[in-house]
Structure 1
Amino acid sequence: MINEQIKDKEVRLIGPDGEQLGIVSSREALKRAEEAELDLVKIAPKAKPPVCKIIDYGKYRYELARKEKEAKKKQKTVEVKEIRLSPNIEANDLNTKMNSARKFLAKGNKVKVTLRFRGREMAHMNSSKHILDDIAKELEEVAVVEKAPKVEGRSVSMVLAEKK
């Protein structure tokens, strides 16, 4: 809320230089803002009494937008990369998959390792879980198991995250 939109009887006023001017009526605060050729902006509406500051409103909005943009820039989104395996995978193929998992983890992503079963392979699900255990053991110096191996329909999957 700015200038005439402020309907409170009394406000705690902060001057353009940041000094406390005390509790004044909103009319008095608005008059002081007009004398300084600036705007009266309500900073903390929930406070008792509300806190208002004498500032240039356009510049204030610009600063807020810039801070928001800066915060957005520093955010890091974590992607979940998936690696699919079959129960009859060969050792070299498994090593290749583990190397790609290492690369994903190094970039800060999480890795979902999925062991997919087709047809008659479903009957031997328990005997194939060792593959996921081997991957977890092999990558334990760079990753931690975030979600343990779990059966989900025709597949068993686990999630690995980068070790901090």
Structure 2
Amino acid sequence: MRVIDDAGEMLGVMNTKDAQQLADEKNMDLVKVSPNAKPPVCKILDYGKFRYEEIQRLKEAKKNQKAVVIKEIRMSVRVEEHDINVKIKNCIKFLEQGNRVKVAIRFRGREMAYTEQGKDVLLNFAERVADLAVVEKSPKLEGRNMVMYLAPKKDK
């Protein structure tokens, strides 16, 4: 295996027993850093300190992540103009907050015969918020619901 000491200097290729003995002399641990390499790369270091720094690095990365929130807006096939305007206003508010929006139409009873009208309502909705949103998933029928996903545009 290829061995690197605690200062970061390459000690060369040696067998496992010699590398472990070298680590024991320095009162440190022999840790496989890259086990898939040919030959595997090991580093002589303090494993407790290594684990602590790794955990700190993961915490910092987690702090910088942003949770993806999906807000849902429900409509029906027979939605009126004023209702659509209210839903669009709410959708714009969600998009400005940086959230994704799931726009759904529920088909009840005999409304299943009007799935094309439902698709038209969703596409019209998407056109009206096109300046703030991009259609992430186009309208698709899932059981008795037709669903479309909108995401906020990146260029602001």
TM-score of the superposed pair, with normalisation by structure 2? 0.83
Determine if the alignment matches structure 1 residue 21 to structure 2 residue 5.
Answer: no
Distance 1:132 1:13, change over 3 A: same
For structure 1, which runs of at least 5 residues remain unmatched after alignment? Answer: 1-10
| CA deviation string 1:104-147 (max 9, x = no partner) | 22233221111223345444443454322221111001111122
Amino acid at match of 2:129: L
Would the alpha carbon gap of residues 50 and 154 (structure 1) be closer, same or farther in structure 2, given more than 3 Å must change? Answer: closer
Question: What residue in structure 2 maps to residue 58 of structure 1?
Answer: 48
Structure 2 residue identity aligned to 1:70 = E
Cα distance in 2 between the residues matched to 1:51 and 1:155: 54
Query: Over aligned residue pairs, what C-alpha RMSD do you find?
Result: 2.2
Partners of 2:135 and 2:144 in 1: CA distance = 21
What corresponds to 2:26 in structure 1? 36
Aligned partner of 2:138 in structure 1 is 148
Shift of 1:51: 1.5
Aligned-pair identity (%):
52
**1:136 aligns to what?**
126
Indicate how the Cα distance of structure 1 residues 138 and 49 shifts in structure 2: closer, same or farther if over 3 A, else same.
Answer: same
Distance 2:12 2:142 in 1: 64
Who wins on radius of gyration, i.e. which is larger? 1
- What residue in structure 1 maps to residue 63 of structure 2? 73
Deviations 1:52-111 (A, max 9, x none): 111111001111122222222333332322101123333232112111111222233221
Task: Please give the secondary structure, in 1, of the residue aligned with 2:104.
Answer: strand
Distance 2:35 2:142 in 1: 50
The residue identity in structure 1 corresponding to 2:85 is N
Supply the distance in 1 between the matched residues of 2:38 and 2:112 (Cα, whole angstroms). 66
Secondary structure, counterpart of 1:42 in structure 2: strand
Q: Runs (4+) of structure 1 moved beyond 6 Å?
A: none
Aligned to 1:92: 82
User: Aligned letter for 2:127?
Assistant: K
- Compared CA separation, residues 147 and 58, structure 1 to 2 (3 A): same
Unaligned 5+ residue runs, structure 2?
Answer: none
Deviates more, 1:13-22 or 1:93-102: 93-102
Equivalent AA in structure 2 for residue 75 of structure 1: Q
- Report the counterpart of residue 8 of structure 1 in structure 2: none
CA contact (8 A) 2:118 2:146 kept: no
Instruction: Give the counterpart letter for 2:6 in structure 1.
Output: P
